[in-house]
Amino acid sequence: MFALTEGVQVVLIIAGYLGLLVLLGLTSNHFFKGTSADYFVVSRSVGPILLLMSIFGTTMTGFAMVGSTGKAYTSGIGVYGLMASWSGLIHSAAFFLVGIRLWAYGKKYGYLTQCEFFRERFASPALGYWLFPVLVLLVIPYLLVGVIAAGKFVQATTAGAFPQWFSLPAIPGPDGTLRPNPLSGGVPYWLGAAVVCLIVLCYVFYGGLRGAVWANTFQTVVFMAAGLVAFWLVAERMGGLVEAGRRVAASAYGAPRLAREGLIGQAQFFSYFLVPLSVGMFPHLFQHWLTARSARSFRLTVVAHPIFIMLVWVPCILIGLWATAQLGPGTNPNAVLGRMVNQLVHSPILTGIVAAGVLAAIMSSLDSQFMCLGTMFTQDIVLRLVGPDRFNDRQKIRLARGFILGIVGVTYLLSLGLKDTAHVFDLGVWCFSGFAALFPLVFAALYWRRATAAGALASLAAAVVTWLILFYRDTAMGANKPPGEDELLIFGLMPVVFICAASTLALVVVSLVTRPPAPAVVDRFFPPQRPQAK
Amino acid sequence: MNPTHPPSRTTPGSRRWVIVLFLLLFVLHHDFWAWADRRLVLGFLPVGLFYHALFSLAAGGLWALANHYAWPDALERWADEPATGVRETAPAPAAAQSPAIPLRTH
């Protein structure tokens, strides 16, 4: 039997939280109407509050809590401007200009996936087939961000809980002498990540997207509250807000991180505005948009989203900043939040609540990503190849679940190999950059009648090729640089600038030199701008 | 179900103002004047972080204005009208799909 040590109590709280999620999935299953449309898009019945919470929960991932804290620790407060404030402006713009319009087409024509929309908008089955692997390729790093963040965080927060089972060898300190491994006794990465994947699989399998929407809403409340609790507790343990600020200002490592000079370039800061455009092409967000009951359900989301981002990110950035004074240099950025909570908050209950909050942020994205991959595989590949009547609804759902299981398995195995080399923030930025490069495609599909199928395919190809080249270059270069300082810049600009430029150029040039699309195809997607007088 | 739509407050002029405000916020994001400023607001909040937290609130305000003065009423009405030949589950294979149906109803 285990002694009820602090670490074990934290584990029990996390286990209780995960149990609640499974219960939520099982409960949502009672509302399941038995159709694939209900499983995949909740019968398009979601109102404003659930839409806000599920979209926000889906958008905020391990990247938001674990990644932002770690990046603030290495690069300072500029991280908020890079990602959070740009996202507040750009995400809502994407919801307003892209999300509402895609919802309208989804409702009108019954779409369930992006590939269906693009295939019909450009009258090109080939585009649908090519888009599918690209979206899967880009979602996998996003899944990795979540799985790695979850496994690392669980290990850091449960350190010391099971010294007999999960002890780790001592590690050499800066002076060469051996010191105890701070993660010793914690739930090992392979186990924490596996449990998180299994729990998400469980409620997605039972509840479909309804399960994910309900779970996201619950998890959004939990991680917002937990973030504020963590912030308050860490601030208190550091001697209060003013004392924490004073300690950073007095720290040789922390003081420069109170500003951006020398840490973030002006061109880099500006070019980050392209990164949040990725939300316009996230397949999991597309699926959430389709769940809206009406266009008006989006209103609350576009207004509250920037404010919610601020409420989550400001405390995380400050914790990362305070970690510069508390932990000093040399901590793995992925482990900063976990170590701050573990080191400063000695109440196992509160540590457990904060841990549950971080897991909530991570899992609220994983579930939607799992769901969208299953939906796309069923709708865009299997049913396209064998015909829509080959399988009944029950079989379609089984197909989706099977594909989800395969993808989760692949992601989990990849994460085991990459957990010590991939940085959550940087991996997330690469993933977002890839999706952002597809934004010109969706924007042209919605607002440019002259865009052609050949232009769309050229844009897709240009985005993939430039992304792969630059990602490879960054990975090869980053191997020899210290953690958190391996971001690739080209002429001071983020790679996303060049990837987006290539995809936009290919789209425009190829569209203009190919035959315009048939009016009968395009007219379906360009409704009148305003009602005409009768 | 065809929901009722309240009278629109969106005009071409109001939409242009929202675009101007968006561009203004876009430019204001780049606070180069605080680049090297390490001062702490209220003793704990770095001035660069404080500025961008306010920026997030302003973004929320901008989108509240957009909801009122740049809302896509016509698109919303169009989406709420019933369409013919619409499916709700799986797509037909490309060869079996019905030809494109023009849906201009106004």
For chain B positions 33-72, those within 8 Å of chain A (CB to CB) are 34-38, 40, 42-46, 48-49, 52-53, 55-57, 59-60, 62-64, 66-67, 72
Predicted confidence band at A66 (pLDDT cuts at 50, 70, 90)? confident
**In terms of Cα–Cα distance, which of A246, A90, A230 is closest to A153?**
A230
Q: Do A520 and B53 touch (CB under 8 A)?
A: no
pLDDT surpasses 80 at A421: no
Pick among B42, B63, B97 to test the A interface (most A CBs inside 10 A):
B63
- How much is the pLDDT for A529? 64
In the block, tokens 């932002």 appear at: A68
Q: What value does the mean pLDDT take over residues A334-351?
A: 80
Residue type for position B98: S
Task: Output DSSP code: residue A274.
Answer: G
B93 and chain A: CB distance < 8 Å anywhere?
yes
Q: What value does the mean pLDDT take over residues A414-440?
A: 82
Three-state DSSP state, B102: coil
Q: Are A301 and A96 in contact (CB under 8 A)?
A: no
- How much is the pLDDT for A152? 84
Q: Are A314 and A83 in contact (CB under 8 A)?
A: no
Tell me: the pLDDT tens digits for A216-239? 888 888 888 888 888 998 999 999
Residues of A in contact with B22 (CB under 8 A): 89, 93
pLDDT surpasses 70 at A111: yes
- The Cα of B25 is separated from the nearest Cα of chain A by a number of Å equal to 8
Residues of A in contact with B91 (CB under 8 A): 116, 119, 379, 383-384, 388
Q: A186 or B56: which carries more pLDDT confidence?
A: B56
Tell me: the pLDDT tens digits for B32-55? 999 999 999 999 999 999 999 999
CA–CA gap between residue A190 and residue A194 (Å, rounded): 6
What are the C-alpha distances in Å from A405 to residues A142, A399, A401?
Answer: 16, 10, 6
Q: Do A245 and B66 touch (CB under 8 A)?
A: no
**How confident is the prediction for chain A on average, in pLDDT?**
86
For chain A positions 30-69, those within 8 Å of chain B (CB to CB) are 35-37
Predicted confidence band at A277 (pLDDT cuts at 50, 70, 90)? very high
Residues of A in contact with B55 (CB under 8 A): 81, 85, 88-89
Q: Do A294 and B80 touch (CB under 8 A)?
A: yes
For chain B positions 16-35, those within 8 Å of chain A (CB to CB) are 22, 25-26, 29-32, 34-35
In the block, tokens 């440019």 appear at: A448
B102 and chain A: CB distance < 8 Å anywhere?
yes
Q: B25 or B79: which carries more pLDDT confidence?
A: B25
Q: Are A117 and A102 in contact (CB under 8 A)?
A: yes
Q: Do B60 and A304 touch (CB under 8 A)?
A: yes
Q: How many CB atoms lie within 10 A of CB A190?
A: 14
How many whole angstroms from its chain centre is CA B44? 34
Three-state DSSP state, A398: helix
List the beta bridge partners of residue A413: none
Is the CA virtual torsion A473, A476, A479, A481 positive or negative?
Answer: negative
- How much is the pLDDT for A31? 76
Q: A216 or A255: which carries more pLDDT confidence?
A: A255
pLDDT surpasses 50 at B18: yes
Q: Are A474 and A429 in contact (CB under 8 A)?
A: no
Range name among A22-36, A345-359, B84-98 with the lowest pLDDT average:
B84-98
CA–CA gap between residue B89 and residue A389 (Å, rounded): 10
Q: Are A125 and B94 in contact (CB under 8 A)?
A: yes
Torsion of Cα atoms, A154 then A157 then A161 then A165, to 10°: 40
B15 and chain A: CB distance < 8 Å anywhere?
no
How many whole angstroms from its chain centre is CA A84? 13
Tell me: the pLDDT tens digits for A355-392? 888 888 788 788 888 888 888 888 888 888 888 778 88
- How much is the pLDDT for A250? 95
Q: A206 or B104: which carries more pLDDT confidence?
A: A206
Three-state DSSP state, B82: coil
For chain A positions 238-297, those within 8 Å of chain B (CB to CB) are 241-242, 244-246, 249, 255-256, 258-261, 266, 269-270, 273, 294-296
Residue type for position A525: F
Three-state DSSP state, A395: helix
**In terms of Cα–Cα distance, which of A381, A383, A284 is closest to A41?**
A284
- How much is the pLDDT for A486? 57
Residue type for position A287: Q
Enumerate the H helices of A76-188 as residue ranges.
Answer: 78-79, 86-94, 100-109, 114-121, 125-157
- How much is the pLDDT for A213? 84
Q: Do A258 and B72 touch (CB under 8 A)?
A: no
List the beta bridge partners of residue A172: A178
CA–CA gap between residue A273 and residue A139 (Å, rounded): 20
CA–CA gap between residue A527 and residue A290 (Å, rounded): 18
Tell me: the pLDDT tens digits for A284-328? 888 888 888 888 889 999 999 999 999 999 999 999 999 999 998
End-to-end CA separation in angstroms for chain B = 19
Q: Are A415 and A142 in contact (CB under 8 A)?
A: no
- How much is the pLDDT for B83? 63
pLDDT surpasses 70 at B103: no
Three-state DSSP state, B46: strand
**Pairing of β B40-41 and β B45-46:** antiparallel
Q: Are A312 and A227 in contact (CB under 8 A)?
A: yes
Tell me: the pLDDT tens digits for A140-192? 888 888 888 888 888 888 888 888 888 888 888 767 788 888 888 888 999 99
Enumerate the H helices of A327-392 as residue ranges.
Answer: 336-344, 348-376, 383-386
Domain ranges within chain B, ordered by starting residue: 12-74
B13 and chain A: CB distance < 8 Å anywhere?
no
- The Cα of B81 is separated from the nearest Cα of chain A by a number of Å equal to 8
User: Which CATH topology does A13-168+181-386+395-420 take?
Assistant: Sodium/glucose cotransporter (1.20.1730)
List the beta bridge partners of residue A209: none
Share of chain A above pLDDT 90, in %: 35
Which residue on chain B is closest to A43 by alpha carbon? B88
